[in-house]
Amino acid sequence: MVCLGNICRSPLAEGILQHKAWQAGLQWSVESAGTGAYHTGEPPHRLSQKVAKLNGIDISKQSARQFVKEDFEMFDFIYVMDSSNYNDVRRISGKNWNENKVDLLLNEIFPGQNRAVPDPWFGAEPGFHEVFKMIDKACDMIIKKYANVKI
């Protein structure tokens, strides 16, 4: 799960998908990263933590890190929050780039529409709740898609 700062959107996406995968009995390893390094080592934004906690998910132990090209070898699939993340991931990954392993997260709900999970960084708490709902729905779709796959 990749966004810009790895403190608002992608930590929620990591927490939500990991939680749903555990609930579904899927042994997935879910991580998140940012295309920028500004917040490396920081915990998620306090409002991302708050909204997650209100929904029964603890993301407080996460620590921000930057996306690296080796993530293409480590992970089967990479979800980005918006098209600028998509372009940054393509740039960072260099020769490891594989367009079949990357998509915008909301394309799981609205296929091919390339809709963005809006960045709540500059806004107030309602924006974080809105983002939680979008990511939650997209993660339900991901789980449904793979629920019958043996891993």
7 to 42, 57, 89, 99, 100: CA distances (angstroms):
8, 15, 17, 25, 26
Residues 80-119 that bind ligand 4NP (CB under 6 A): 119
Q: For residues 4 and 17, which CB has a smaller minimum distance to ligand 4NP in the complex?
A: 4
What is the rounded CA–CA span in Å between residue 97 and residue 89?
A: 8
User: Does 5 sit near ligand 4NP (CB under 6 A)?
Assistant: yes
Residues 116-135 that bind ligand 4NP (CB under 6 A): 119, 121
Q: Does 3 participate in catalysis according to the annotation? A: yes
- Identify the residue among 22, 24, 38, 96 touching ligand 4NP (CB under 6 A): 38
Q: Does 8 participate in catalysis according to the annotation? A: no
Q: For residues 9 and 20, which CB has a smaller minimum distance to ligand 4NP in the complex?
A: 9
Catalytic residue among 9, 71, 82, 139: 9
Which residues in this chain contact ligand 4NP in the complex, by CB under 6 A?
A: 3-9, 34, 38, 119, 121
Q: Which residues are catalytic?
A: 3, 9, 119
